[in-house]
Structure 1
């Protein structure tokens, strides 16, 4: 098994996320059949639209593996023009320099960075954390989906309680075959939730959220550890996790053996920054 990050492995990691987003959008459409949802594929890249405020509404994969060119950018901008939305395009530190030059030439600006951490996994399951008396970690099942979705939606909502649409959006992450949720209970109260998407040899850890009243109790760390255990049991070769630079998630990932592999940048069209 490879242990050194290279361009081919980055492409595989990025494809894992692309597949998960497509699966999520396909499920979300069933809840909003009249909504404006669309996707476009071109030369190994994709553009998704799931609403103007949706975190899934951006283009990715261009410049990796293909070089990306003016025609690709024109197609992306035309796709988002139909929704009256400025294009948002994600690039990586492994993207072809030609594609980065095209975006710079057209005035695209940085919105934010994301770090991608990776960890090679052994072929046999390991127990990554010891049991803690007052904390219980469980895999979600049908009766717990609503609890899981509410915790995840609450964690990503900064301006009040989550709406029904926010909870529906979160629920859809668990409604495709590759994903499983996990929850943490402290003294009988559900305090944190997260998910894992297993696609062949790659396990993607995502959607971690801890309730405000349960933070700084080690739940986030234990949810990462639990999902690593699940990935090893599924005989995955790699685990990946995306983080905001300088976040607590980065500290937990490092403590559990992840290595920072590469950076992703969200680039936005000039009119989006005016």
Structure 2
């Protein structure tokens, strides 16, 4: 990578708001897909973001993007909490540290507890991107088909790496498969498979929206980890994003994880952190 590739991205509130809006739109799109199975799903606009519920046990059940619009009133929080209580799940708020600080104070006052953090990293898409390992071949999943991609990614996520900060979230295989299937059809979402010796061993996805490439859904089968699979998937997606005219790529990781290390080696820098706050209702 050249010096221009590694130029630090300064993240102000406007850039964070741009990323959070796209994240919220993607989650809302996944919820709309899930509603074909679970009509009880909802998307409630809230403070520039939305309170989302897909179905019981779904990773999409969260309040996302809040804090970059009008500060929600106590009454709005009460309505959101009542909506989650009706479907029997806790309220989970993912709050960017660049969001309006009054929201954090409101949530702690309402009994929310801090459970974890996640990091949002980004890099400009200029110049050339990093090259992948010659031992790993990456292809779009069009050739092998969606079901092969889904099986590889779900198998990878079902056996998480024990690195980085502990996470409060664990989901059964069925829930992971459902959300992957729902998110696969949201907007311009592209899926990738990584092969070693002709065998699919890892997968990932990328969603392009308004010049931003959001990298997600990356997983490697346990027996093939630490062999450059994720680095190859990252390089392939960055090259596609640049070719598509995106100016920014973003990725969300657990703090201190191998995923964060791989991203930083590929020129990503920390943009902001989300605090995850939860309230039982």
Instruction: Tell me the TM-score normalised to structure 1 length.
Output: 0.89
Q: Which runs of 5+ in 1 are unaligned?
A: none
Instruction: Give the equivalent residue in structure 2 for 1:27.
Output: 33
Instruction: Give the equivalent residue in structure 1 for 2:164.
Output: none
Q: Deviations over 1:233-266 (max 9, x none)?
A: 0111110000001100111111111011111011
Contact kept in structure 2, 1:69 and 1:102, CA below 8 Å: no
d(CA) in 2 for partners of 1:77 and 1:11? 24
d(CA) in 1 for partners of 2:140 and 2:121? 23
d(CA) in 1 for partners of 2:68 and 2:172? 38
- Picking from 82, 87, 93, the partner of 1:78 is 82
- Picking from 266, 269, 274, the partner of 1:259 is 269
d(CA) in 2 for partners of 1:251 and 1:263? 16
Q: Deviations over 1:93-131 (max 9, x none)?
A: 112111111111112101110000010112x6x342145
* Structure 1 residue 41: Cα displacement: 1.3
Instruction: Give the equivalent residue in structure 2 for 1:128.
Output: 130
d(CA) in 1 for partners of 2:19 and 2:171? 34
* Structure 1 residue 27: Cα displacement: 2.2
Would you say 1:109 and 2:113 are equivalent positions?
yes
Instruction: Give the equivalent residue in structure 2 for 1:95.
Output: 99
Q: 1:23 to 1:213 in 2, by over 3 A?
A: same
Instruction: Give the equivalent residue in structure 2 for 1:202.
Output: 212
Structure 2 SS opposite 1:82: helix
- Picking from 4, 10, 13, the partner of 1:4 is 10
Structure 2 SS opposite 1:101: helix
Instruction: Give the equivalent residue in structure 1 for 2:165.
Output: none
Instruction: Tell me the TM-score normalised to structure 2 length.
Output: 0.87
* Structure 1 residue 84: Cα displacement: 2.1
Structure 2 SS opposite 1:207: strand
* Structure 1 residue 3: Cα displacement: 4.3
* Structure 1 residue 167: Cα displacement: 2.8
Pairwise CA RMSD = 2.1
Instruction: Give the equivalent residue in structure 2 for 1:152.
Output: 153
Structure 2 SS opposite 1:156: helix
Instruction: Give the equivalent residue in structure 2 for 1:162.
Output: 173
Q: Deviations over 1:36-87 (max 9, x none)?
A: 3222113422011112321110112222233333223212212212112221
d(CA) in 1 for partners of 2:151 and 2:173? 8
Contact kept in structure 2, 1:40 and 1:79, CA below 8 Å: no
Question: Structure 1: which 4+ aligned runs deviate by more than 3 Å?
Answer: 158-163
